[in-house]
């Protein structure tokens, strides 16, 4: 009986999450999709906590059970937020599939660089989206036409660089060959580009 109520509460949470998300994206401003989806998960979890505490349907749960359920709802909300709207919003893989379908089911392989540079960046306003996300996250700031990294950004960048160098696969399949190119993608960067600002 308790397990059935647990499943029912989970079902209710997912429905509440979907409704909260749909209301949010259709009637309110959204700065960053991932943050908005996380907030929706928290709001839905708080609503579920109210339902757990003030309806007879879930009186089988004690206070500790309800606390555990609340934590589970938060984790489920986070999982949904990062796995569905955020992945679809940010994923190059989904873009590739959508673009191939849009172009009649096939694109010449040697034209993909043009697709990315001429179409993907423009169609998805890629620079605007990513710069907005980073500004909202506090990792960069815009000053006099210059995009500058903040102290928070430096810490995150140092961590990601360290992780990339030491904890990403050294033998990763890339177009039929195993390579460590993506553990240090800057190894063949231009020495001193003319786009720097201070």
* pLDDT score at 188: 77
DSSP bridge pairs for 141: 148
pLDDT at 193: 72
**21 — pLDDT class (breaks 50, 70, 90):** very high
CA distance 37 to 43: 10
Mean pLDDT confidence for 87-102? 91
pLDDT of 186: 81
For range 77-106, the mean pLDDT: 93
pLDDT-derived band of residue 86, with 50, 70 and 90 as boundaries? Answer: very high
Whether pLDDT at 39 is above 80: yes
Sign of CA dihedral 80, 173, 119, 103: negative
User: Mean of the pLDDT values across residues 49-76?
Assistant: 94
What pLDDT does residue 81 have? 96
| Cα–Cα dist 130/12, whole Å | 34
Q: Would you list the DSSP string of 55-78?
A: -GGGTTS-HHHHHHHHHHHHHHHH
Run of H or E residues at 146? strand 146-149
pLDDT at 14: 97
- Please give the pLDDT value at position 187: 82
């Amino acid at each position: 009986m308790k397990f059935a109520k647990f499943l029912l509460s989970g079902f209710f949470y997912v429905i509440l999450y979907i409704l909260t998300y749909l209301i949010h994206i259709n009637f309110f401003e959204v700065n960053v999709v991932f943050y908005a989806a996380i907030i929706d998960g928290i709001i839905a979890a708080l609503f579920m906590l109210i339902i757990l505490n003030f309806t007879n349907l879930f009186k089988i749960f004690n206070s500790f059970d309800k606390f555990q359920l609340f934590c589970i709802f938060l984790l489920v909300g986070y999982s949904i937020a990062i796995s569905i709207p955020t992945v679809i919003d940010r994923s190059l893989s989904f873009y590739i599939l959508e673009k191939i379908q849009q172009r009649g089911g096939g694109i010449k392989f040697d034209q993909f660089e043009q697709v990315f540079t001429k179409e993907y960046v423009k169609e998805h306003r890629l620079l605007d989206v990513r710069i907005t996300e980073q500004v909202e996250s506090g990792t960069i700031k815009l000053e006099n036409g210059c995009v500058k990294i903040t102290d928070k950004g430096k810490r995150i960048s140092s961590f990601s660089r360290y992780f990339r160098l030491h904890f990403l696969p050294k033998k990763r399949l890339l177009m039929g060959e195993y390579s460590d190119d993506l553990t240090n993608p800057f190894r063949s960067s231009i020495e001193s580009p003319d786009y720097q600002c201070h």
